[in-house]
Chains A and B, each alone.
Chain A
Amino acid sequence: MLKSLVIMSALLSVASQFGAAQPSVQVEPFTLKGPRVLQDQTRAAVIRDYLQSWKSFRGALDQNSPALLDADFVGSAKDTLTDTIHQQAAVGLRTQYQDRAHDLQIVFYSPEGLSIELTDKVDYDVQVLDHDKVVTTQHVSARYIVVLTPAEVRWRVRVFQAVPE
């Protein structure tokens, strides 16, 4: 009985570690393509909102809950992730994405100010759970291209796509 408790405790500890770690974030200097000047406030808001979108993304795919995407995703990014969540749920999967490190660079601010594009060299672990049983944990490094557009009070992710480096 004691042994079971110890094992359970260890498993819970590992599980909570998987979900709790804060990623390291590095922001590269930007050389924008485009005529529009990027103000520091805008830059900070875009990065803040993008990193927040990872939290929503993690929660939504872990809990198979598309509603968690609403605040931070819009358009095709939201549609794609919503479809993915439905596909996961249909086959009894959950996925836990834990971002470990982000290396961000803002690359394009459209002239009319209605979109910002950034790249993110991100390291993350993806843990696949089949009917709540951990099947594997895989480390992934990827370069994401992200396009954000302004909403009422925040920037929302409209394109969220990994591309080969």
Chain B
Amino acid sequence: MKLRSSMLISSLASTAMQFAFAQSATMTIPKTVEAGQGFTVASVGSGNATLFIVGPGQVLKRDVKLGEPADFPAGMLYSAGRYVALLEVGGAAAQTEVFDVLPVKDVANVNFLARPSRLPVGLHDAITGAVYVFDKYHNLIAAPESVSFELAHPGGAVEKRVAQTHDGAAWAAMDSTSQQGADTFTARVGDISSMRVVEQVPGDPCGLKMSAKQSGQLLDLSTDPVRDCSGNAVPDGTIVTFTEVYHGAQSTVDVPIKRGVAEVSMPIHNGATISVASGVVMGNQIGWGK
């Protein structure tokens, strides 16, 4: 009974001493630390302790001698966020502090989303780009940064926009140019850039026109060279539809453009009306033999 009591007293005394040590030990940690930079945690007290740095981004554990500075070298704490620093002495928390790790100020990576990768020429605000900016440790840089967006055509034309990031994000909308070709779409922050290719293809046919010529019992129909409204040749393979309406009946023929024009031969019907179209674009009409 006596032995048990003395063990209990001894255990309580030990716990009380640990508590007293924990109470007397304190630390001083910077309120903010830049990601990847070294920093020092000063402490007051004597004996050994354990320092924990705990956050969703990282967890570090360090044995420290109280009264001596604990150095955290550059590169050790690099994930931005809010952290809890915990000084543990004898299994009890002596002090807990909250501090921030901030992203590096310099942008190291521009995450660039550009859409679409292919579109017709001559459309307003049809190309969009969005960026998120990160430091070299992949921390999002929340401080405002100026982002330059450039859409460059192989012919030399350049369209520019400048936007400011808010909470690490910025965007811009650009017009597609009037000439077909592979444009480069670049987002740049300082010396860091990210580039995408945007293929600009001819738009819908414009001023679609056909002519007709009799050839025996057939009518040879042929379009003029098919171009969009900016003068770009509509690509071969684009479907052109010829429709002949006669005496309440109708014949329709779909023809792909070959070498810039669409051609077809259709039976002659006196009083027929022949029309041409490509997609939703209507061309001219011809009345035959009226």
- A and B found bound together: yes
* A130 partner residues in chain B, CB cutoff 8 A: 52, 88, 91
The number of residues on chain B lying at the interface, defined by a beta carbon within 8 Å of a beta carbon of chain A, is: 42
Is B61 touching A161 in the complex (CB atoms < 8 A)?
Answer: no
Q: Is A43 part of the contact surface with B, judged by Cβ < 8 Å?
A: no
The number of residues on chain A lying at the interface, defined by a beta carbon within 8 Å of a beta carbon of chain B, is: 42
**Residues 99-136 of chain A: 1 if any B CB is under 8 Å from the residue's CB, otherwise 0?**
00000000110111011010100000010101001011
Is A161 touching B57 in the complex (CB atoms < 8 A)?
Answer: yes
Q: Is A155 part of the contact surface with B, judged by Cβ < 8 Å?
A: no
**Residues 181-222 of chain B: 1 if any A CB is under 8 Å from the residue's CB, otherwise 0?**
000000000000000000000000000000000000000000
Is B128 touching A111 in the complex (CB atoms < 8 A)?
Answer: yes
Kindly state the separation between the CA atoms of A91 and B51 in the bound complex, as whole angstroms: 12
Q: Is A148 part of the contact surface with B, judged by Cβ < 8 Å?
A: no
Is A107 touching B113 in the complex (CB atoms < 8 A)?
Answer: no
Is B56 touching A136 in the complex (CB atoms < 8 A)?
Answer: no
* B61 partner residues in chain A, CB cutoff 8 A: 91, 93
* A61 partner residues in chain B, CB cutoff 8 A: 56
Within 8 A of B (CB), among A3-50: 33-35
Is B58 touching A111 in the complex (CB atoms < 8 A)?
Answer: no
Is A135 touching B92 in the complex (CB atoms < 8 A)?
Answer: yes
Is A140 touching B56 in the complex (CB atoms < 8 A)?
Answer: no
**Residues 151-172 of chain B: 1 if any A CB is under 8 Å from the residue's CB, otherwise 0?**
0000000000000001111010
Chief secondary structure at chain B's binding surface: strand
Q: Is B140 part of the contact surface with A, judged by Cβ < 8 Å?
A: yes
Is B91 touching A164 in the complex (CB atoms < 8 A)?
Answer: no
Q: Is A98 part of the contact surface with B, judged by Cβ < 8 Å?
A: no
* B92 partner residues in chain A, CB cutoff 8 A: 135
Within 8 A of A (CB), among B63-87: 79-82, 84, 86
Kindly state the separation between the CA atoms of A32 and B109 in the bound complex, as whole angstroms: 24
Is B86 touching A110 in the complex (CB atoms < 8 A)?
Answer: no
Q: Is A71 part of the contact surface with B, judged by Cβ < 8 Å?
A: no
Task: List 11 additional A-B contacts (Cβ < 8 Å) besides A136-B86, A145-B140, A161-B80.
Answer: A35-B128, A57-B56, A84-B59, A107-B169, A114-B115, A114-B130, A128-B52, A136-B96, A145-B142, A163-B142, A164-B100
Q: Which 5 A-B pairs have the closest CB atoms?
A: A111-B128, A112-B115, A110-B130, A136-B93, A162-B82
Chain A residues within 8 Å of B, Cβ to Cβ: 33-35, 57, 61, 76, 80-81, 83-84, 87-88, 91, 93, 95, 97, 107-108, 110-112, 114-115, 117, 119, 126, 128, 130, 133, 135-136, 138, 140, 142, 145, 147, 159-164
Instruction: Offer 26 A-B interface pairs, CB within 8 angstroms, sorted by A.
Output: A33-B166, A35-B128, A80-B57, A80-B58, A87-B58, A88-B59, A93-B54, A93-B61, A107-B167, A108-B166, A108-B167, A110-B169, A111-B115, A111-B173, A115-B113, A115-B130, A133-B91, A136-B96, A138-B86, A142-B82, A145-B167, A145-B168, A162-B56, A163-B100, A163-B142, A164-B102
